[in-house]
Structure 1
Amino acid sequence: MSNEIPATQLYLISPLDVSGTFPERLERAISAGPVAAFQFRVKDIEQHEAARLAAPLQEICKAHNVAFVVNDSVALAKRLGADGVHLGQSDGSPKDAREELGREVQIGVTCHGSKHLAMEAGEAGADYVAFGAFFASQTKEAKHYAELEVLEWWSKLFEIPSVAIGGVTPKNCQPLIDAGADFLAVSGAVWNHDEAEAVKAFAQKLNPKS
């Protein structure tokens, strides 16, 4: 097994339902191969309940040295002491999030397929930018699509890491890796299947020498 960090890493995004046996599934997924980050993405539940659901997942991530990122909510990220927060275009500015959360927290921003939004996010202090969707997704209906060219352009010009998202699977991810994506953000491709086998399949693509 190679100890080298692959050029492109895996970024897991939770399903909307993280109750029941999901903590055991997360443990299996993370144990199956190198995972860089896990995004806690739940909708339409109040913060106290979200914090209760997040607690065991955050512990699992901490035990495996996986970054725990909260989707959308700076307030929840602060409450949990999360490693990061991911902001959509309507979730406030990276600059404000930085003032609220401090210098150590990783801040990511959804930029769709837009070079302009990505440059704005970088100037505002984002630690990574997310482009997509690159493919049709079963998890979330895409309103915006991105072209491979935006990943190639970004990787040549900027140091800030890029995340490719949207319908990414082990079968279709190679062009994203070749285009310079630093992370592949995946959800349904893992949780709609045997999560351990899915992560192993991604690992073979991301680090074929291992």
Structure 2
Amino acid sequence: MTGTENRCRLMLILPEGEDIDARRVMLEDALRGGDVASVVLPQYGLEDGVFQKHAEALVPVIQKAGAAALIAGDTRVAGRAKADGIHVTGGLEAMAEAMGNYSPKLIVGGGNAKDRHVALEIGDLAPDYIFFGKIGGDIKPEPHSKNLALAEWWASMVEVPCVVMGGTDPQSALAVAETGAEFVALCQAVFAEPRNAAQVVASVNALLDEKAPRFED
């Protein structure tokens, strides 16, 4: 999940859906909008076999655009679909298990870090990134203040990159960037109106290009 960009980058989280073709089109449109570091494909309520079909159809779309495809759900699907990594939605034990089984062959990140203590325990495992917030946590226009505070604290002292769940307003990406976080995760902000997804990705990238703080080398 590294890139030449010297600022906060986008992680997209695909919303739930059962129509593979519709999800593929929605994803292709969003990825046409500009720089995206990675895309998380959550399992949601899909049965393992159905989830695998979705992953096999969508992972190549993500990779073709130059982004990393991350699976959140049945970890076996990641290997079968040739995804780039695993997004862990559980806590410390789930992260330790995923790290043991898949790192460094695959990207492993995530973790349900709700406070500083848990965050540091997850950080000790040296995942590829830590995630503040949760999938589906974008229920307000702005990011959750607790996640912003955790990210600001984390970015100032820990080398493991962090991702913060943004809000439903695309402009919320800037609030995340201002914490020093390496990545902002957006879902509803981009996909609520799928036909506008490319335009939103482009506008978020323009906003971050203009106003996001730059990282020191």
* TM-score interval, smaller chain: 0.7 to 0.9
Pairs within 5 Å for 1:21-36 = 21-36=22-37
Q: Cα RMSD over matched residues?
A: 2.6
5+ residue gaps in structure 1? none
Pairs within 5 Å for 1:165-184 = 165-184=165-184
- Report the counterpart of residue 15 of structure 2 in structure 1: 15
- Report the counterpart of residue 89 of structure 2 in structure 1: 88
Per the alignment, in what secondary structure is the counterpart of residue 146 of structure 1? helix
Identity of aligned residues (%): 25
- Report the counterpart of residue 72 of structure 1 in structure 2: 73
- TM-score, length-scaled by structure 1: 0.85
- The alignment status of 1:104 with 2:96, answered yes or no, reads no
Per the alignment, in what secondary structure is the counterpart of residue 103 of structure 1? coil
- Report the counterpart of residue 158 of structure 2 in structure 1: 158
| Structure 1 CA distance for aligned equivalents of residues 71 and 31 of structure 2 | 17
| Structure 2 CA distance for aligned equivalents of residues 57 and 98 of structure 1 | 24
5+ residue gaps in structure 2? 212-217
Contact 1:72 1:91 in 2 (8 A): no
Contact 1:32 1:199 in 2 (8 A): yes
- Report the counterpart of residue 206 of structure 1 in structure 2: 208
Contact 1:94 1:125 in 2 (8 A): no
Structure 1 range deviating more: 102-111 or 61-70: 102-111
Give the deviation of 1:130 after TM superposition: 0.8
Give the deviation of 1:145 after TM superposition: 6.3
| Structure 1 CA distance for aligned equivalents of residues 190 and 31 of structure 2 | 11
Structure 1 counterpart of 2:155, one-letter code: S
Per the alignment, in what secondary structure is the counterpart of residue 54 of structure 2? helix
- Report the counterpart of residue 124 of structure 1 in structure 2: 125
- TM-score, length-scaled by structure 2: 0.83
Deviations for 1:32-76, whole angstroms, at most 9, x for unmatched residues?
110000000132222221111111211111211210000133222
More helix per residue: 2
1:63–1:203 CA distance, 2 compared to 1 (3 A) = same
Per the alignment, in what secondary structure is the counterpart of residue 126 of structure 1? coil
Give the deviation of 1:184 after TM superposition: 0.6
1:68–1:150 CA distance, 2 compared to 1 (3 A) = same
Deviations for 1:84-107, whole angstroms, at most 9, x for unmatched residues?
111122594323213322413111
Deviations for 1:4-33, whole angstroms, at most 9, x for unmatched residues?
514100000001115232211211111111
| Structure 2 CA distance for aligned equivalents of residues 117 and 10 of structure 1 | 24
Structure 2 counterpart of 1:32, one-letter code: G
